[in-house]
């Protein structure tokens, strides 16, 4: 008996699935920790996956 497989996930073409990144601002705070901000991919809003576009059967381009 074969196992059911999931359809392949749709990885965001803009960020290749790496949707968030920590960017250092330079310097350290008074405790010695690096100051960082988190930047999210503007296309997928930090999810790493692309939206599925509805495909209509029989539609002409």
Chain centre to alpha carbon of residue 48: 2
In this prediction, residue 7 carries a pLDDT of: 66
Residue-wise pLDDT for 7-26, tens only, equals 667 888 888 888 899 999 98
Residue-wise pLDDT for 35-56, tens only, equals 999 999 998 888 888 876 665 5
pTM of the predicted model over 0.85: no
Measured distance CA(34)–CA(27) in Å, rounded: 6
In this prediction, residue 39 carries a pLDDT of: 93
């Amino acid at each position: 008996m074969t196992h059911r497989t999931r359809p392949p996930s749709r990885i965001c073409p803009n960020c290749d699935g790496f949707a968030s990144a920590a960017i250092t601002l330079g310097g350290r705070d008074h405790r010695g920790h690096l100051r960082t901000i988190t930047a999210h991919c503007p296309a997928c809003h930090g999810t790493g996956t692309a939206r599925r576009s509805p495909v209509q059967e029989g539609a002409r381009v």
